[in-house]
Amino acid sequence: MIPVSWIFALSVLVFATGALGVLIRKNAIVMFLCIELMLNGANIFFVGVSKMRGAAEGHIFVLFMMAIAAAEAAIGMAIITAFYRRKGGVEVDRADLMKW
């Protein structure tokens, strides 16, 4: 049996890795993946809280968050693809204006 404190530590580590990646990297695709890491860290935390309380609400909430993350991934990749076609790269420094 894995202690709940380890689950919380893992969720904080995954979330912090994603946050650090968003702050440091300049590539839009890498930043997008780091945002997904942050969502996964939050999901791990919700499952840990659900396990600690012995309730199923955390698991249900994670299922909804995964569905929202899938939709966000599809829309985000479409935006990044359109940006690449317009600007010729995916570095966020090229996105100085949202005007095409």
Q: What residues does each domain of the chain span?
A: 4-87
Residue 27 above 80 pLDDT?
yes
- Report residue 100 as tokens: 């095409």
Phi, psi of 30 (to 5 degrees): -65, -40
Is the domain defined by 4-87 classed in CATH 3.40.50.410?
no
- At 32-78, the pLDDT tens digits run 999 999 999 999 999 999 988 888 888 999 999 999 999 999 999 99
Confidence band, pLDDT 50/70/90 cuts, at residue 83: confident
The answer for 88, left when phi > 0, alpha when psi is -120 to 50, beta otherwise, is left
